[in-house]
Structure 1
């Protein structure tokens, strides 16, 4: 809020109690908050894009507060639904919303509903709902699956979607879009509002937010409200005081002494990492260096609800000097006492970085302070590119894609649990969501057939019979118990199977993945939730532990790596070609690039540089793609297949976000045939079909769609059991029904999400025009970061820091040694 006098004439037409509340604090309603109120009063949907600290949450809720501050109170029942991507964000919003409600004396009840909410409270919320319900997409979908949902939502007036950029473009966004379509059918009068601080493409989100007609093909769009500009963020890149920036590694462990100095110098510091492993690793490093015993906490999604809540409440009270976290605290958390945000490792995107920076200060008129800690030299360039993008106000983000069929299948089952439905009516409702406006009657019929009996190849099995169509043409549940089975298994976030980590007294610390727990035996130690733990035993889905004096390992977690955005990738390549701009780089980075320019060449924007050189008795080829780890992994698999076919005897490959290194026993003298675009036709299809990628994708869509259930009353399947079940079904469908709707959904996942095939296709197409091949006598400086990864593929991300790179000294010396002058010169 901005300070004004209590008699400021710019106060808008607000109910007296709200106007008095603003005046008592010397605040004014900001322009964008007033515009959001005007849009609501005009009955229009609206998207607000405003900087962090601009009061977006109040802008979203101001129409609701005004309704309850008027003379005629709304009818009792659910009035406003608030949807956020994170449980922690919903809890934080509740804390910050309760204060003004109590101070104004408004008769407004606010509650949260998520996977952490006790079942008795959930039941009571369905029978006697609060006026404002704060929830997540998954919990909303489950709430819509109850028969009483029609009455529950009939009087709904407003839906507020916070941090919409964080999930609208993925499967959680698909689920929310379908839920919004259902809400529109139940409560057509309900207005929609979405809030975000970081959107590169607002128009796409405006169209996603508004209901689509589905009849004349016209795409409607919500109104766009832009927030007042705030203070520019202050971003710096941390550099080693005496040493050089590391050649490899991602953890940034070298910076721990400097980070402790920063923590001591600030009231509260938020330290972001990109993975749960890194959060535990960096926390351990900080704690070992914490000679002053400063209160430092840790927060990530695998910690228990109790542990997360305890840390969140401690932060809200200002009791922590530092908190190490993951994306679990990326969004919207309003802790105004945070002085500094630290990003460990590469930010991967300017919008993500801007979102995290905004956690500091959290006021529009105060600059947010952030420090970036690069793990290696390429990450320094990426950090510099991200800083430049933030300074210039440039944002990036994911593009929208067609809605997923497995999510649609889950939604159809939820609708059936709520009430019988007519096929045509539900199709029209589904098509009113932009993500599913492409679905025609034939596609919808295939989805219905799958939900009904599993599809042609599976319909003989009774366990796949979930809904039936009666003689009246109405679809309904095949048995009432199908509703309970659906609610126990519904969800979009498919983590690897997890085991609970507990003390003997039953206190839960959180969860670790089953594959990590399988490596442990009684007496083994590991570091988790900020504690050193010793394994006592494993039983069922529980890993029992006790406190230990030291720890030997840190849990690793699967899941996809954060992709490098195309926007940052392009900026990094432009930096490499801008030699005049190298003057702002540290000496060791500038020396690295100058030596590369001297020894080989630097990849120009739009160019694909390929280097070949011998090393250690093998022949190496490096491809500087800058297309991200996922695309480079896929390219490595495809290239080694082609090398095998051509008798080049490939030995393996390693990849990072910027480069791919492939080695074999014979040299690659012409890389062009290995990169021809036709590799994405037959060979790509054959590779994906034979590899684990499609099976893994099928496993996820089978669970999301409800084909395979993870939980039954009193029983939960292990990860191995789920994998065994889905692999059997996958083999049956591949053989007898290769066009099954889930095979199609799995292919969409494998192509788009797991392999970044779009970026890969662009790269291969570019290679036909802009391929530059340089043959060298030894390793180049630019190749060293990826070459240091060879032999360490199994090392958890973050453990490969400078102390693990000592054996690479010879490699670095060879790369940075100037060429010997010819004799006689």
Structure 2
């Protein structure tokens, strides 16, 4: 069958649905059928699933002219999704095509949710089209004879590639692809990505920086003029002293009319605890919404989440309060409006959430921005500009993740074994390991066979045996079983399941929260007030309670930091505060009273200025610096500066930071003039000073826990019998200390430090920020009182010491004094 005839089948199908294929869909069909690899850049809700399922099915029709009567069984294509929640939807799209075109192709799903019965069935007979996750793909590679399973696979699609890029799951995917390229003689690799800044690099990481795949590839951009409207909810009463405490609840009544006039509204919060609180407060103030409003976040049980997703599709919910658990892919046509509560910290995340509304080609997306404090209106204004200019962040790919590579090599050794000379060139073709030297490769092979130098007397670290033919193989069934249980790269704080005493499952909570509760304590979770009874195994047992409480679980994900792009946009917006009002956005105009109050004691900095404020209070001497670079950078910069100051004169100070700036609070005054004269903001010697200033050993030790788990040095336990996080932490700390003292050239030990600097402290960004400050005029203001800019940082520090009620009272008193 000619290509034109095949394309006619696809166009005909679209015609029957009363749709018209987009140019990017046709372009993708053509490129795929010509045998090309590629990356498709298309927004959510634009029909990208049909852009790739179609050519996969058409390719099968082309190779099997008798497809309606004769069916050739076996795996033909794999679709990888980072979220198993999306798999049902992807399956429905594929089935519509295979059934309507009367092929006999079967579609199956294999994720962590797939039943044992279904897996056993797949073992004997694979579906033609398989939807899976990066982890489940690795599990398939760990089964004996996997090469026969994949042999006739002609396509692999990696969905939401921008979400995997820049994570270890992305590295895991790169390694899986490197193996499939060798096994499948005629494999086409395609990625689908929403907008990111470094699309060309994203394609290079997907296909490998060298080799034929990249040369025979194409980058297709969907040119759909999607209209995104950003509306800020500007408070009628503008606070002159903003603080982060009230989660935006003072604007709750402004949200009610928005909910009422839309079919369905999604309210996005940045943290699960904020999600819980908003859900409770809306129901408390508006009980008429009972049954029409729901909550969705990653710690709520799967059944509830699926029920909520289905209820959105059926238009039976007015509103859903959610977190990033609804950021990706799920297709909700009825959603008309999105409300973002608090700054989203990144442009891509904001655009992704905006795209949840008007989720149909050609429909307008409407997103409301609700600031949790006045300063966030500057972010709202920056977002308006970002949407206009389509300014989006880059995703930075990982390099040399030895832990993921050790896990992958063990996976190969568990299945059919591997010959190092055959696998090394494959691994070198990936982006992550393109610089892997022979010497490092030998170290990794020795590690698999003997454990590291300092552990070679312990048998438990010897997992892989070298057979007579040079093949590396795991022959011990217990080792193989433990390895299969632990495949994956997501290592979080240990999660405990939350269950009623009689056994009903509610969801999961991080161990660090539960460990602070005493029996009888009441906390809010999944929209209910629950009384904590006891911990039994890996479960926290609870009962319903009618008591009121202000305890809400906090999750470690709650400390998001500005992306580099976001910081840049924020600074540009802030600098417009000095312009005449005609050139200002509505948000910046509304902040006029706050800027006026700021100028009474200090200044609103210009592009060429770096502001430092100092004042004294009953807490001590406050020294506040405003780089406007995001909390992750401020964490590193504040430690660096405190260390350099301590070299001039011995001083102890406590640090506080937010996205706008950081504070050094000390019991005696720091001589700022001395700081400036000694050029303490210099980027020179930054790395060695950082290592001394931060407890970098402590940070690397925490990082090492994840590395130890991923590389399999520490076992996390069997399902239902997990190892407690404190035991994991102590086992990995023990290993860390052994390597520190006896084997500091251990690649996994060194990786812990590299990741701490590059990913946690963003060393490159910190250096650029210091270089920028070196170019600016430094303005030092000696103030009598806290300024509006410093207020959120000071009150944030108080939060550590006071309960929410006491904090609110104290801030009211402080604000009263300052606004006299």
**TM-score normalised by the chain length of structure 1:** 0.92
Q: Is the 8 A contact 2:704 2:752 kept in 1?
A: yes
- The alpha-carbon deviation at position 288 of structure 1 amounts to 1.6
- The alpha-carbon deviation at position 108 of structure 1 amounts to 2.5
Q: Is the 8 A contact 2:799 2:807 kept in 1?
A: no
Distance 1:614 1:319 in 2: 56
- The alpha-carbon deviation at position 401 of structure 1 amounts to 3.8
Q: How does 1:138-537 map to 2 (within 5 A)?
A: 138-213=135-210, 220=215, 222-242=217-237, 244=239, 247-249=242-244, 251-294=247-290, 295-537=292-534
Distance 2:818 2:276 in 1: 34
Q: Which residue of 2 is the match for residue 8 of structure 1?
A: none
- The alpha-carbon deviation at position 586 of structure 1 amounts to 5.8
SS of residue paired to 1:791: helix
Q: Is the 8 A contact 1:126 1:148 kept in 2?
A: no
SS of residue paired to 2:469: coil
Q: Is the 8 A contact 2:144 2:415 kept in 1?
A: yes
Indicate whether 1:63 and 2:66 are aligned.
no
Q: Which residue of 1 is the match for residue 32 of structure 2?
A: 40
Q: Is the 8 A contact 2:232 2:380 kept in 1?
A: yes
Query: Which residue of 614, 617, 621 maps to 2:616?
Result: 614
Distance 1:335 1:583 in 2: 32
Q: Which residue of 2 is the match for residue 30 of structure 1?
A: 22
Distance 1:488 1:576, change over 3 A: same
Q: Which residue of 2 is the match for residue 782 of structure 1?
A: 789
Per-residue CA shift, 1:321-373, capped at 9, x if unaligned?
11122111111111111011111110212211111111111112110111111
- The alpha-carbon deviation at position 813 of structure 1 amounts to 6.1
Distance 1:561 1:126, change over 3 A: farther
Distance 1:246 1:236 in 2: 23
SS of residue paired to 2:518: coil
Gaps of 5+ in 1: 1-10, 818-825
SS of residue paired to 1:207: helix
Q: Which stretch shows the higher mean deviation, 336-345 or 582-591?
A: 582-591
Q: Which residue of 2 is the match for residue 5 of structure 1?
A: none
- The alpha-carbon deviation at position 281 of structure 1 amounts to 1.9
Number of residues of Structure 1 aligned to a counterpart in Structure 2: 801
Q: Is the 8 A contact 2:336 2:357 kept in 1?
A: yes
Indicate whether 1:557 and 2:552 are aligned.
no
Distance 1:170 1:517, change over 3 A: same
Q: Which residue of 1 is the match for residue 811 of structure 2?
A: 808
SS of residue paired to 1:760: helix
Per-residue CA shift, 1:402-447, capped at 9, x if unaligned?
1411111111111111222111211111112122211121122222
Q: Is the 8 A contact 2:110 2:136 kept in 1?
A: yes
Q: Is the 8 A contact 1:643 1:650 kept in 2?
A: no
SS of residue paired to 1:443: helix
- The alpha-carbon deviation at position 521 of structure 1 amounts to 3.1
Q: Which stretch shows the higher mean deviation, 32-41 or 650-659?
A: 650-659
Indicate whether 1:636 and 2:638 are aligned.
yes
Distance 2:373 2:394 in 1: 24
Q: Which residue of 2 is the match for residue 75 of structure 1?
A: 72
Indicate whether 1:760 and 2:766 are aligned.
yes
Q: How does 1:633-782 map to 2 (within 5 A)?
A: 633-647=635-649, 649-668=651-670, 669-670=672-673, 671-672=675-676, 673=678, 674-678=680-684, 680-688=686-694, 691-712=697-718, 715-770=721-776, 772-778=778-784, 779-782=786-789
Distance 2:753 2:623 in 1: 30
Q: Is the 8 A contact 1:611 1:776 kept in 2?
A: yes
Per-residue CA shift, 1:730-755, capped at 9, x if unaligned?
11110000111111111122112222
Q: Which stretch shows the higher mean deviation, 365-374 or 562-571?
A: 562-571
- The alpha-carbon deviation at position 516 of structure 1 amounts to 1.4
Q: Is the 8 A contact 1:210 1:221 kept in 2?
A: no
Distance 2:547 2:316 in 1: 26
Distance 1:15 1:571, change over 3 A: closer
SS of residue paired to 2:283: helix
Distance 1:379 1:221, change over 3 A: farther
Q: Is the 8 A contact 1:18 1:69 kept in 2?
A: no
Q: RMSD of the TM alignment (CA)?
A: 2.5
Distance 1:769 1:243 in 2: 34
Query: Which residue of 40, 47, 54 maps to 2:46?
Result: 54
- The alpha-carbon deviation at position 18 of structure 1 amounts to 4.2
- The alpha-carbon deviation at position 59 of structure 1 amounts to 0.5
Distance 2:488 2:686 in 1: 32
Q: Is the 8 A contact 2:561 2:631 kept in 1?
A: yes
Distance 1:190 1:758 in 2: 37
Indicate whether 1:577 and 2:583 are aligned.
no
Q: Which stretch shows the higher mean deviation, 353-362 or 277-286?
A: 277-286
Q: How does 1:98-137 map to 2 (within 5 A)?
A: 98-137=95-134
Per-residue CA shift, 1:500-534, capped at 9, x if unaligned?
11123322111111121122233222111122222
Distance 1:714 1:394 in 2: 45
- The alpha-carbon deviation at position 766 of structure 1 amounts to 3.2
SS of residue paired to 2:556: coil
Distance 1:661 1:55, change over 3 A: same
SS of residue paired to 1:160: strand
Distance 1:64 1:699 in 2: 41
SS of residue paired to 1:485: helix
Distance 1:445 1:246 in 2: 60
SS of residue paired to 1:493: coil
Q: Is the 8 A contact 1:270 1:324 kept in 2?
A: yes
Q: Which stretch shows the higher mean deviation, 356-365 or 604-613?
A: 604-613
Q: Is the 8 A contact 1:160 1:193 kept in 2?
A: yes
Query: Which residue of 14, 21, 25 maps to 2:13?
Result: 21
SS of residue paired to 1:549: coil
Per-residue CA shift, 1:136-191, capped at 9, x if unaligned?
11221222111132111111111111111111122111111111111112114111
Q: Is the 8 A contact 2:378 2:588 kept in 1?
A: no
SS of residue paired to 1:677: coil
Distance 1:290 1:543, change over 3 A: same
Distance 1:142 1:25, change over 3 A: same
Q: Which residue of 2 is the match for residue 3 of structure 1?
A: none
Q: Is the 8 A contact 2:709 2:715 kept in 1?
A: yes
- The alpha-carbon deviation at position 382 of structure 1 amounts to 1.1
SS of residue paired to 2:455: coil
